Amino acid sequence: MNNTIISTVTEHKHLGLQLSDDGNWNKHIDMITKKAFSRVNILRKFKFILDRKTLETIYITFIRPLLEYADVVWDTKTQILINKLENVQVEAARIVTGGTRLVSLSNLYIETGWEKLKDRRERHRTIQFYKMSNNLTPQYLSNLIPQNFGMIHDHNTRHTSRIPPVRTRTSLYASYFIPSSVQLWNKQPENIKSSRSVQIIKSNLQPQNNTKPIYYYIGTRLGQILHARLRMQCSSLNHHLFRKNIVNSPFCQCGATETTAHFLLHCPRHNATRLRYIHTINLPINLNTDLLLFGSTDLTNTLNTDIFLNVQKFIISSKRFTS
């Protein structure tokens, strides 16, 4: 090119993407996960210093974008690579919540309210496909979209918004943007495909109720961590440890099974502390374990905040989880 010999290489970094001569994204995902993990390790140093909201903001602002830059281009269908990306978020979630290695992934995602990265990438691809289909991108991108059945046939059909599947000879090509996004688009309900603007389709695709209440972020850092571990069932209560085969017995020193409910409401070893912090909460509804752990939508944020602060004071003052 211009009298310059172009050398043949196996990989090349272009606009932040690590392109490989075999068409796979292994090298690119290795690169971004390594960079993201280096930032997660920095986040870990502040695990017991910064509050939960600040740690979460750091992850969402400075780490997750590394894992999602240009993801509509390289979104992978290889489970090993999917897991490699998700492991970064899981580790960050443990740091933010204070969860231990014993926490189940389902409980961890419920606690954070975060989406899996795979689901976020699918939403990003759907939105990009919508833009390309509606000429909201440069023409060379919009021209890549195959015609739907409504454009192919003159008569009306029940599937006018559907796009014929792209024929692929290899699984590698089938995972690329156009073939895989056509399949994804055809699975969308009609109200998604007929969205009148980018803002509307983004709103329609946004998962509901994935934000945590403000009272999840109150209290001291130690209180936040111990409270969250009880919610996620990964604390050092004997019942939690017994279920993970860490200890030989689920029983409390008082003789009963040391469940979360037993610790918060019934264990006689903590009666004095319970009377001081738990039973002094003035509420219009009866106390129960779920209320003490998760709060209630039937109560105001002020009352829920009061519950969370008193529960955290009880947990810390009981000295059950401190040496």
Q: Residue 195 phi/psi, 5° resolution?
A: -55, 140
Angle at 109 between CA 108 and CA 112, to 5 degrees: 90
Per-residue pLDDT band for 161 (boundaries 50, 70, 90) equals: low
Residue 159 confidence (pLDDT): 52
**pLDDT at position 286, please?**
87
pTM: 0.90
CB atoms within 10 A of CB 280: 10
Give me the residue label for tokens 């209630």: 296
Instruction: Please check the confidence at residue 153 and state whether its pLDDT lies above 70.
Output: no
Cβ neighbours of residue 169 closer than 8 Å, sequence gap 6 or more:
none
pLDDT tens by residue, 259-268: 999 999 999 9
pLDDT at residue 171, as a whole number: 87
H/E run at residue 83: helix 79-97
**pLDDT number for residue 15:** 94
pLDDT tens per residue, range 168-190: 999 889 989 999 999 999 999 99
pLDDT tens digits, 189-218: 999 999 999 999 999 999 887 789 999 999
**What is the bridge-based pairing of β-strands 11-14 and 17-20?**
antiparallel
Contacts of 218 (CB under 8 A, 6+ apart): 224, 305, 308, 309
Mean predicted confidence (pLDDT) in 71-76: 94
pLDDT at residue 140 is higher than 60: yes
Rounded Cα distance between 108 and 92, Å, is: 11
Asked if residue 155 has pLDDT above 50, the reply is no
When the pLDDT of each residue in the chain is averaged and rounded to a whole number, the result is 93
Q: Specify the amino acid at residue 132.
A: M
The torsion of the CA quartet 58, 60, 61, 67, rounded to 10 degrees, works out to 120
Classified as helix, coil or strand, 290 is: helix
pLDDT tens, 19-69? 999 999 999 999 999 999 999 999 999 999 999 999 999 999 999 999 999
Mean pLDDT of 149-177: 72
The fraction of the chain above a pLDDT of 90, given in percent, is 85
Please check the confidence at residue 149 and state whether its pLDDT lies above 60.
no
263-111-317-251 Cα dihedral, nearest 10 degrees: 30
| pLDDT reported for residue 157 | 47
Q: Is residue 239 scored above 60 in pLDDT?
A: yes
What's the pLDDT tens digit per position in 277-293? Answer: 999 888 888 899 999 99
Percentage of the chain lying above the pLDDT 70 cut: 96
